[in-house]
Amino acid sequence: MNAFPPNDTDSSIDIGEADAETAAAIDIDREKGNFSFKEDYAYDAGVGLNAGAVDYITDVKGEPDWVREFRHKALKIFESKPLPTHWGSKDLENIDFAKIRYYLAKGQKPSRTWDEVPDDVKETFERLGIPEQERKFLAGVEAQFDSESAYSRMKEELSKQGVIFVGPTEGLKEHAEVFRKYFGKVIPAADNKFAALNSAVFSGGSFIYVPKGVKVAQPLQAYFRINAENFGQFERTLIIADEGAEVTYMEGCTAPKFDTATLHSAVVELVALKGAKIQYITVQNWATNVFNLVTKRGVAEEGAEIRWIDCNIGSRLTMKYPAVVLKGEHARGEVISIALASENQTQDTGAKMIHAASHTTSNIVSKSISVGNGLASYRGQVHIPKSLSHCKNNTECDALLINTNSRTDTYPAITVRGSQNSTQHEASVSKVSAEQIFYMMQRGLSEGEAMSLAVNGFINDLVQEFPMEYSVELKRLVELEMEGSVG
Amino acid sequence: MPTEILSPDTFAAQQNASPLAALKKAGWEQFQQLPVPQRTNERWRFSNLNHVKLEGFSLPPAPAKEIQQELLQRSALIEKVSGKIVFADGHLLGEVSLAPELHAQGVILETLSAAAEKHPALLEQYLLKSGTDLGGEKFLALHQAYLKTGYFLHVPKGVEISAPIAVYNWLAADGAAVFPHALVVAEENARVNVVDFYLSRDESAKGFAAAAADIHAAPGAGVFRKVVQNWNEQTQSYQIDNTHAENNSTVTTVSVNLGAKRARFENAIRLNGSGSNVRLYGLTVADQDQEFDQRTLQIHNAPDSYSDLLYKNALLDRARTIFSGLIRVAPGAQKTDAYQTNRNLLLSPDAEANSLPGLEIEANDVKCSHGATTGQLDTSELFYMQARGIPKETAYELLVFGFFEEIIEKVDNEELAGVLRTFVQEKFKRRSAKNLLG
């Protein structure tokens, strides 16, 4: 039996060897990320959200009673809060909370060695193109498959330094003392409807504690995956940098494509104690059926620094406004944000800087690109209350519109009181100039190439802020998005 | 006879005689249906709604003869005018005056009630056609219900009014409610220059004002409008302006806001014609517990149009200001050139400046930008002046008045600029510069 005819009889793939080689060399694997595996989940909380589902999650995870209480309280808050009214998009109303599965996991405990990782999970990583060698370079890889940590491992020297890098379930059981002190304190369950949802059903994410004075040299990374239809992923990340500590955390997301909407609603809390530095880097590239509704906030104590470096390329609707509460004098907060809204996408992003001590400074730089009918919005808040002095904020928002039907909105809100405080906000909207494109085309570039070069130039200064491998990836993603965007 | 403005009897009593009856009735019905602004309404973000009170105001009778005489005499802030109207407590004082040569050229200047009798077709075409997108619907509906004391200024094709028409609106009786309206229509290639004054007879009478303006600039027309709001600090002021700019028209408005306890100003500009050119300038000096709530909308509906907004606020004591501006570029309005700038000068640690500069852009070939800054006087500039022997207090005054001067000079009328400088100085006289410096 021969299911496949021999190559030489198939004229449709009859191309010269050199051509095929060239094609392979210049082509990109477009199917990457466009796949799914047969679902085989050991644990499943069923469809819909109720007290039973919450109990189920707590039971499966074997969590202590205080967590069960926390989850139930959050569920009640979630049920009582209305959906946001004048936020980014009416699309929110299309989320059917009763049709979402709130928990499923492979049932495995976080594993420390590569051998313990199940084969189909390894295959997912393989398809994602994460080479095994790369992981060895990474200080610690927390690879998350659906809602439970599939693999986590730390280099020996990090453990020796006392750095904790685990999932939240392990964190709340093994490191209860430090976990409980900060968990849900930066972002209480009642903060907003989606923070409440996350607090009720969270699973997966990371818990990191960096002890006093420890400077983690290499970034800690986590890879996230969604791989089940109609499945919401509710990571919960808590990072604590003790006095004088320094840490960089990186998360990147890709997701297989599905027909029905997927909900992703993470909560990320950062605590930078006196003189500590936390840098949190995100590259978000969910499939275009994902609702990405995320609450991210950090508290910076005296002399501490928190930087959110955020890039949003994927998803159907993203609503994300990383915040820094500048709680101690001389604290510093920064948000660097890139958003790319392609056809049928809404990127509703922004930043919040809440000054709560004198002599604090904050900086926001946001650049967005709208392609096709894509909508990129900047929503920001800068708050300097009475009784503070010598606070400074600088905000810059630039938007680039590619097509005639592209759209961009900017909605900052700035409140200033007190003495010797100053804020400045600037925003501009522009398009790629016809002259630039003409100049490049005259030198032999196609219109598409010229456009991606111009767009890459527009965001270049922010892309530099990302680590090397991310910035290379970003440039390629922009090129991909710009293909066919002109004409 | 009942006079409380919220009473249906008050509405009915003033309704009978009016030729604008249908329009007013529609306004009254809308007013009943519309909710009082809520804190959750984005259009009222940062507003202190405790100060929004409709109860306790009434339609007063015409002021006594001697008060009328006094107010007519005081309605002479600028001498060189080509026409004048004086209203007090919702009543016309004296006669409407208009330069004979303008009358001969067909310029119409009438009270709204008179215009409703003589020019019903024109009113039908232009009066209260656009509503407001800025949150003040309920106040605009109330204005419409009590529409009476406005004026209608119509300038025919090609006619130019160079010296301004001055319109004075006075609040005199305690608890008085007034509803001034400005309807200005400049036909093709006409030029019009108008100043509206909002003033109080004394510092103590409580007052309520819901003013509105409809400004129409036909193709090629030029409209230059200045509004000086200097009600006393016992007044609640609402002001809802709508401007329509057609092809190649030029509209410049200068708004100076000094008075009222709480003043809300909604200013919407619709650039409907290509080549239209609109400039909006605002100066606010806020002191004591004053709150100035400014909401602006620059809507670009046509390609190749230009708009520029500059609103400057200076804040003293415990004053609050809100600037919420939006540039909206409609799909297809390519080559739009739009700017928006808000500068807040905090002269007291207890003052609060809120800034919400917004953009909604639905066309790609545009140049749009906004900037908002909030800060104190530049200490290095103060130091520089002191180093050259200028006393600190003088240096301070020079810098603060320099901040205002950028807007004051935009009125392009030395007489009026002088009036504005005096008003601002009077406000500052209440405290010495020494106190300000702390």
Q: What is the mean pLDDT of residues A97-102?
A: 81
pLDDT at residue A152 in the model: 47
At residue A253, the pLDDT reads 55
CA pair distance B254, B266, nearest whole angstrom: 14
Mean pLDDT, range A109-138, rounded to an integer: 48
Spatial distance between the Cα atoms of A53 and A473, rounded to a whole number of angstroms: 38
Which of A104-118, A127-141, B294-308 is most confident? B294-308
Higher pLDDT, B382 or A30: B382
Query: Is the ipTM reported for this complex over the cut 0.90?
Result: no
What's the whole-number mean pLDDT along residues B412-426?
Answer: 94
Residues of B in contact with A454 (CB under 8 A): none
Q: Is the pLDDT score of A331 beyond 60?
A: yes
pLDDT in tens, A40-95: 555 666 778 889 889 988 988 899 999 999 999 999 999 999 887 666 677 888 88
Query: Would you place residue A261 in the very low, low, confident or very high pLDDT band (cuts 50, 70, 90)?
Result: low
Whether A130 shows a pLDDT value over 70: the answer reads no
Q: Burial code of B264-291, b = ≥16 C-beta within 10 A, e = fewer?
A: bbbbbbbbbbbbbbbbbbbbbbbbeebb
The per-residue pLDDT for range A283-314, each reduced to its tens digit, is 887 777 789 999 999 999 999 999 999 999 88
In angstroms, the CA B194 to CA B168 distance is 11
pLDDT, position A419: 87
Residue A110 has a pLDDT of 40
Phi, psi at B79, each rounded to 5°: -90, -45
Q: What per-residue confidence (pLDDT) applies to B76?
A: 96
DSSP state letters, A60-101: HHT--HHHHHHHHHHHHHHHHSPPPSSSS-GGGGG--GGG-B
pLDDT of residue A137: 31
Option in B364, B374, B376 nearest A403 (CB) = B364
CA dist., res. A9 & res. A162, Å (int): 64
Q: Is the dihedral of CA B96, B98, B103, B109 positive or negative?
A: negative
Cα(first)–Cα(last) distance of chain B, in Å? 53
Contact indicator for B351, B287 with CB cutoff of 8 Å: no
Helices and strands: H and E segment counts in chain A? 12, 23
Q: Do A399 and B361 touch (CB under 8 A)?
A: yes
3-class secondary structure, B144:
helix
pLDDT for the residue A135: 39
For an interface test with A, which of B40, B341, B362 has the most A Cβ atoms less than 10 Å from its Cβ? B362
pLDDT of residue A105: 58
Identify which of B89, B93, B94, B200 has the alpha carbon closest to the alpha carbon of residue B146. B89
**Residue A262's pLDDT band (boundaries 50, 70, 90)?**
confident
The contacts of residue A156 (CB under 8 Å, 6+ apart) are none
Distance between CA atoms of residues A467 and B435, nearest Å: 53
Higher pLDDT, B397 or A392: A392
| In the predicted structure, residue B74 carries a pLDDT above the cut 80 | yes
Cβ-defined contact of B372 to A424 (cutoff 8 Å): yes
Task: Return the pLDDT at A140.
Answer: 33
Confidence of residue A248 (pLDDT cuts 50, 70, 90): very high
Burial zone of A206 (CB within 10 Å; 0-12 exposed, 13-18 middle, 19+ buried):
buried
Q: Which residues of A lie inside 8 Å of B (Cβ-Cβ)?
A: 85-86, 386-387, 389, 399, 401-431
User: For the residues A472-487, what does the mean pLDDT come to?
Assistant: 71
Q: How many CB pairs under 8 A join A and B?
A: 126
For residue A419, which residues of chain B lie inside 8 Å, CB to CB? 346, 349, 376
Handedness of CA A67, A69, A72, A78 (dihedral sign): negative
R_g of chain B, CA atoms, integer Å: 21
Comparing B392 with A367, which gets the higher pLDDT? A367
Q: Give the burial string for A463-481 (b: 16+ CB within 10 Å, else e).
A: bebbbeebbebbbebbbeb
Residues of B in contact with A425 (CB under 8 A): 355, 357, 370-373
Q: Which of B170, B153, B188 minimizes the C-alpha distance to B91?
A: B170
Sorted by where each begins, the domain ranges of chain B are: 8-272, 379-438
User: Residue A3: pLDDT above 60?
Assistant: no
Whether B193 contacts B221, CB under 8 Å: no
Stretch B216-234: mean pLDDT: 97
- C-alpha–C-alpha distance, residues A269 and A188, integer Å: 10
Please tell me which residue of chain B has the smallest CA distance to A398. Answer: B369
Closest residue to B349, CB basis, from A399, A419, A431: A419
φ/ψ region of A66 (left if φ > 0, alpha if ψ in -120 to 50, else beta) reads alpha
A409 closest CB neighbour out of B42, B352, B359: B359
pLDDT over 70 at B431, yes or no:
no
- Rg of chain A over CA atoms, in angstroms? 23
- The predicted model gives B420-424 an average pLDDT of 94
Amino acid found at A320: K
Neighboring chain A residues of B334 at a CB cutoff of 8 Å: 404
pLDDT band at A146 (very low <50, low <70, confident <90, very high): very low
Looking at the partner chain, which of B40, B369, B376 has a beta carbon nearest the beta carbon of A428?
Answer: B369
Q: How confident is the model at residue A449 (pLDDT cuts 50, 70, 90)?
A: confident
Contacts of A401 in chain B (CB under 8 A): 361, 363-364, 366
CA distance A72 to A51: 7
Distance in Å, alpha carbon of A431 to nearest chain B alpha carbon: 6
Q: Is the pLDDT of residue B133 over 90?
A: no
B57-82 average pLDDT score: 96
Q: What pLDDT, on the 0 to 100 scale, is given for residue A92? A: 83
Above 50 in pLDDT, residue A230?
A: no
Is it the case that residue A30 has pLDDT exceeding 50?
no
Of residues A408, A351, A342, A396, the one with CA closest to residue A372: A342
Residue pair B143/B181 in contact (Cβ under 8 Å)? The answer is: yes
Q: Give CA–CA dist B375/B394, Å, rounded.
A: 20
Give the best-scoring range by mean pLDDT among A89-93, A442-446, B248-252. B248-252
Q: Which of A105, A478, A26, A28 is nearest to A283 (CA)?
A: A478
Pair B246, B218: CB distance under 8 Å: yes
Side-chain-facing half-sphere of B25: CA atoms under 13 Å: 9
Would you say residue A33 has pLDDT above 50? no
CB contact under 8 A, B355 and A425: yes
List Cα–Cα distances, B120 to A440, B21, B216, in angstroms.
61, 12, 17
Q: Report whether pLDDT(A417) > 50.
A: yes
Tell me which of A472-476, B306-310, B413-417 is least confident: A472-476
Q: How confident is the model at residue A16 (pLDDT cuts 50, 70, 90)?
A: very low
For residues A402 and A431, is the Cβ–Cβ distance under 8 A? yes
Which residues, including other chains, have CB under 8 Å from residue B302's CB and lie 6 or more apart? B247, B271, B272, B273, B274, B276, B333
